Amino acid sequence: YPRPDLNAISDKDEAKVELVKKILRDLRSLKITLGLTDSYKTDAIVSATGDEFIEFVKNEGEYIKTGASLSSIEFSDRAKRDGYIFTGSYGYECSVKVPFDVDITARLKRIKKDIDKNNALLCEAEKKLSSQDFINKASENAVQKERNKREEAEETLKKLNESYEILLSWEK
C-alpha cells in the first residue's frame, strides 16, 4: 500500500484546501438560508483579497461550482450585488443570487419558528441540567444526553440566527 510522504505536506496548501471548504460551506449555507435544495442551481459570486488567493480560488472555480451546485460562479473584487444575499469571512466574501420565486418574508417566518422551537429545547435541557435533583438521580447516560441536546440546540440556534440576520439584511 502507498504510504503518505509527511514531508510533502505543506501548511500553505492545507490552508488553501481549508479555504475552498469554507467557501463551499458558506455558499451551501446561503442556499439553505433561501430554502433552496442542493439540486437547485443558482448563480454565485466570490470575491477575495490578495492576488495569490484570488488566483487559487479561480483555479478551483469548477470544483466550487460543482460542490455548491451552482449554475455559474463569478470571481469579482466585490461580492455584494443587488438581487444577491451575501456573507463575508476573513479574506473572502460570497453571495448567491436570490431566485425570483423565493418569498423572503415566508423564509423569515419559518426560520423564526425554528428559532423559537430550538430556544424551547435549549431551555428544557438547561432546566434539567440545572436541577441538582436530576443530576443526582439520573444515570450518567441521561445527563450526557441532556448535555448533547443543549449543545445541539445551541449550535442550531447559532446557524438559524445567522440565516435570519442574512435574510433580514437582504429584505431591507
C-alpha 47: how far from chain center: 17
**Given this model, what pLDDT does residue 119 score?**
96
Range list of β-strands (E), the chain? 42-48, 70-76, 84-89, 92-97
**And the C-alpha cell for 45?**
459570486
The rounded average pLDDT for each run of 10 residues, N- to C-terminus, in the chain (172 residues) is 81 83 89 87 84 77 90 82 80 84 89 96 95 93 94 93 86 53
pLDDT score of 90: 67
Count CB atoms within 10 A of the CB of residue 123: 12
The residue to which cell 450526557 is assigned: 144
C-alpha span between 126 and 149 (Å, rounded): 9
List all residues 6 or more positions away from 154 whose beta carbon is below 8 Å from its beta carbon: 122
